[in-house]
């Protein structure tokens, strides 16, 4: 869609994509207080990272 808008209006597709991203982020931030997420608690295995695979 951004490419079509670029061709129609001569505005770079990147600008259209950034406008859409800004809009979507603003919508989420507007409702952010309602979002419930538990903090991530890594296990001992996850803290070691890739050391086990070597």
Cβ atoms 8, 16 nearer than 8 A: no
Cβ atoms 3, 16 nearer than 8 A: no
What does the pLDDT read at residue 53?
Answer: 59
Q: Is residue 46 part of a domain?
A: no
Mean pLDDT of the chain: 89
Give the structural domain span for 25. 1-33
Residues 6+ apart with CB under 8 A from 36: none
Joined tokens for residue 10? 């001569």
Band of residue 30 on the pLDDT scale cut at 50, 70, 90:
very high
Q: Is residue 20 part of a domain?
A: yes
Q: Mean per-residue pLDDT for 26-32?
A: 95
Q: Is residue 43 part of a domain?
A: no
Cβ atoms 43, 32 nearer than 8 A: no
Total structural domains within the chain? 1
What does the pLDDT read at residue 28?
Answer: 95
Cβ atoms 12, 6 nearer than 8 A: yes
């Amino acid at each position: 869609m951004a490419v079509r808008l670029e061709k129609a209006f001569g505005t770079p597709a990147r600008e259209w994509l950034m406008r859409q991203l800004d809009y979507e982020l603003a919508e989420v931030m507007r409702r952010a207080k309602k979002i419930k997420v538990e903090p991530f608690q890594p296990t001992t295995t996850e803290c070691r990272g890739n050391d086990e695979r070597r």
